[in-house]
Structure 1
Amino acid sequence: MAMGRIYLDWNATAPLSATARAAMLEAFELPGNASSVHGEGRAARAAVDRARRQVAQLVGAEPAHVTFVSGATEAANHVLTAEFRMGRAPLNVGRLYVSAIEHPAIREGGRFDPAQVTEVSVTRQGVIDLAALGSLLAGHDRNSGLPMLAVMLVNNETGIIQPVAEAAAIARLHGGLLVVDAVQAVGRIPVDINALDTDFLILSSHKIGGPKGVGALVARGEVLMPKPLVRGGGQEKGHRSGTENFHAIVGFGAAAEAASENIGERNAAIAVLRDRLEAGMRQAAPDVIVHGETVGRVANTCFFTLPGLKSETGQIAFDLEGIALSAGSACSSGKVGDSHVLTAMGHEPKLGALRISLGPDTADEDISRALAAFAKIAARRRLAGEAA
């Protein structure tokens, strides 16, 4: 009997959880529009409000400060803008500073002109260079407007945890605003918007077992808000118009509540599996490179290079063995290209790398099969090298 496939690409998207699925099935029975004032509409509004509380609780925010959007990319395009308001007064941001390892949705700069975007370097260990950040912000022209810093809490390729609180202190010293991409962090490490001292958090539902197509921009307060990206009907307090993606929002809320529970225990178990995976890989191929292993990482991510193996070749080889993993980020319509993260870390642009990311449903047997596949692929690489 053929063995089933193994899913080891949780950083790309997590399978829809039973909790989120059940909540969505209940929501499908509610016919009302959440903006309607009749009983059916009020029932739908109550379900959206509950989801808002669940998402807020995940990051220690106030429910009123959660704006539902179509996903993290829209959240980034919404908040990365030069035009803000502070209460009723306009507030201008003169320049956006982004770390060199950010997700493309951040690196593109949102609504900023490309000439207004400055990249902040990272160390060879894949951590934002705080000294370089301090120098850049010290040289910022305040006459152009305030500086804004956008930095991820956990890198989507390496799993490396970034020193966001320290970066926030530097940004505050120079009067800057801070936007934190917490997409890969929530559910894996505790995330608190106040402890991070950030103005905005970006979240995505499908990374934590919720449905695809919904996310949130979470503000620390309501006074400071960006100019709306989507205007029209005035939903979401006017921050994001358009009828809410009701069923997805309900599923997102249920997934957020589940993700906030037993984070330490859940990820300690995942760390045991990840450590076993990496130890087995080193035994099969002592020259394997595990990126970020010397600094703090989330428990579920292993981003590795097998010298001489191209990313696309390795991804296909694992797929043929029935194992789904990624060659870096899954954000570019299935394209496999050079990793801008590894390039920013000082590696050769053509250095291939593969990402294995685990989840709560990953089993010990999954790791055994992944190691068997890895050993087979490493052996073929070795034979190919000897033949050459």
Structure 2
Amino acid sequence: MKTGIPLEEAQTTLLELVRPVKECHVSLAEAVGRLLSQDIRTAINLPPFDKSPLDGYALQAGDTETASSENPAILQVIEEVRAGFVPEKQVTPGTAIKVMTGAPLPAGADVIIKFEDVARTGNQLKVMYPLQAGSNIIRAGEDVRQGELIAAKGTVLTPPLVGLLAGIGVAAVPVFSKAKVAILSTGDEVIDPSEKLRPGKIYNSNLHSLGACCSQLGAAPVMMGVVPDEQAAIVEHISRALALSDLVITTGGVSVGDYDIVPAALKQIGAEIIFWKVDMKPGSPIIAAQYNNKLIIGLSGNPAAAFITFDLIVAPLIKRMLGFESGLPPKISAILKDNFNKSSQQRRFLRAKVEIINNIRYAKLTGEQSNGVLKSMIDCNILIDVPAGNGPLVAGQEVSAVVIGRQ
């Protein structure tokens, strides 16, 4: 078992141990945000036929070659076609068919003129100017052509893509299944928010915040509740969580105190400890283990520490399980807007918000930076990466940061 390893080693080691979960088909109503597990090509043209983009008349441009206001082309209206219906007649020289928006282009017609650009008396139509063949016609396949690749494997299903798939007649799409992530909190002091607060107790924020993070990523959280600081109870809950999920997350009980017994519980169930502690602050007391090809990640019980290690270490694993090729958070540089007066003997991540002002990227600290403070995570969308051995930071200096999921 390795201890105190660099963050990048922890990320790489764990990412090598996970693969996308199984594939399934979901309805379009459930598809947005999911990742395609297969390429999708269209079996039809879109639109599937030549059609009218407006209310007007379909006719032959040749009939209007010499048309003018003094000498209009006179045509006979022989039919009317609404959207959703097909013409029964064919346009021939000297005739026109009234068409509504979305109606198919009648056979024989090569141009459509707007209602407001003609004069009609009874079934007689007057066109006052020459028309160019092909005008005001939406051609079959103008949007997509039959056989065209619509979306490749690994594409995130967005609302426009869902609409396009519906437009080509796809009712269900192949996607990677949602990873099931079991989450449990340990600690005799932790109680559910539904309970009355009692002396010495605190409300369980980690279970709900990390469950929300999983949902935001597209995973399915499995809430396992609170477990007391008893090894047998922790063993029982982790064993049950493994049976119900693809990944297990615990919070609390991973440091070096007398009641930090998650490592012992993991050993008791026969899990292989991969590493314990990562060289970073906050969130150093993290443990990673594997049992029957499933990962168990034990995070700190401190709310901000749990959040930050989730973003940096757990979120990439969930993204990989959901089918993303690389789930590692992107890195950026920015100009610091605030002073940070502490030296950093250990690599430190500071909660901040990125702002763009006059095309320059700035990083503004979001509040208190201690392990237990959750409020400063609310507006946080980047983590400033402060190297070990760094002195205080001053406003105006350039800093490196990683982008996290709350935008």
> What interval of TM-score do these two structures reach, taking the shorter chain for normalisation?
under 0.3
Q: Give 1 or 2: higher helix fraction.
A: 1
Q: Give 1 or 2: higher strand fraction.
A: 2
Task: Compute the TM-score of the two structures, normalised by the length of structure 1.
Answer: 0.27
Which structure exhibits the higher relative contact order, with contacts defined as CA atoms closer than 8 Å and separated by 6 or more residues?
1
Task: Compute the TM-score of the two structures, normalised by the length of structure 2.
Answer: 0.26
